[in-house]
Chain A
Amino acid sequence: MSAHAQPAGPSLVDRKLPPVTEVGAASMIAVAGGVIYMAAYLPKHAPIWFALVLLAVAAGLQAANAFLLWRIENFAWGRFFQVWRWSLAAYLLIAGMIEFAFVFDHTRGTALVLLTVLLGLFMLNVPVLIAFTVARYQATD
């Protein structure tokens, strides 16, 4: 193979795609904010309204991301779901460990429910960001 060979076909670097990474990062900021807010009060219970607002923002942004992804045409969906599945398995393990720590510390009731939902959003968000970043530079299926 020539050391100066050109890849076949056009570069995928300038391909116009929706801002999935940016929306996902904003959702992650909301999730991190919610977890930090709740964890800062543990083992006592934090006033939940602020965490609920952050949770709603994070969930809304992830729903928006799902919609943005759904609308993309000519995308490497095979590669996207391959990476998404494995990343989800890894983040399921990480989120499970964090959840275990909260339960072990006797976090209960509303605080545990909120933290679990926030962790669930975190667990779903990261694999989407990894899979999207990989698939956007892959040739269409």
Chain B
Amino acid sequence: MAVAAQAAPGLSAERPSFEIVPRKGLPIVALVLIGVVVAIARDSRWGLVFCHVVGGGLWTGIDLFVGFVIGPIIGRMSIPARIEFSTRFMPKMLLIMPTIVTMTLAAGFQIARQDAFLDTSNPKHAWVVASFFVVGVMAVIALAYLEPANVAVLFELRKPQPDGQVIERLMKRFVYTAGITGVMQVVTLIIMTRLVS
């Protein structure tokens, strides 16, 4: 391969050391997941609604805020500032997003069952199926493209001399998919408000 590797200016400057998966956050993740399992096992209406509303609110809020507010700001930052932000921000996202997504979906499915929205004869059944579709689209984008890119960027940033081209290529995935994710989150808000109104 003849292409010379290029580190963007500042990429090899001193970077904060970081863990790809922040171990301190794992007990919190475990507590949240245990809480969801307990809510499901006890069929606790309040517990399920709490998990679904808190998780769903965070999921939608974080997706829209990061995609349309934080993302463009990061894009205009200097490269050293962008790297420092990413090394502190992305490991946390690696724990937060899968946790709140699992919490939202697991609790939401139980609420749909309790409210008989899963029954094909229920007039609101089509809205639930539409929400499954929206989640499916977001899951494919997040799991096939965004999460692998997130992990790969963190591995690249841990190298003594990270390759700026690699990071730029991987970060483009976030830019390209922000619009689709944003639309899906707005559709989710419409579906959820239709379901409870």
Residues of chain A at the chain B interface (Cβ within 8 Å): 1-15, 21, 24-25, 28-29, 32-33, 35-36, 39-44, 79, 83, 86-87, 90, 93-94, 97-98, 100-101, 104-105, 126, 129-130, 132-134, 136-138
Contacts and interface: CB of A to CB of B under 8 A. Distances in A.
Contact of A4 (B9, B36, B98, B125): B9
Interface residues of B, number: 55
Given A40-B129, A43-B113, A101-B106, A129 B148 contact: yes
Contacts, number: 150
Q: Which of A7, A13, A129, A130 has the most chain B CB atoms closer than 10 A to its own CB? A: A7
Interface stretch (B68-76, B85-93, B135-143, B184-192): B135-143
Contact of B155 (A3, A33, A100, A137): A137
Contacts of A101: 40, 106, 109-110
A1 B14 contact: yes
Interface in B134-186: 136, 139-140, 143-145, 147-149, 151-152, 155-156, 159-163, 165-166, 169-170
10 contacts: A4-B7, A5-B12, A6-B6, A11-B3, A13-B165, A32-B140, A40-B129, A97-B106, A101-B109, A126-B143
B163 A14 contact: no
B96 interface: no
B155 A97 contact: no
B106 A98 contact: yes
A126 B120 CA distance: 31
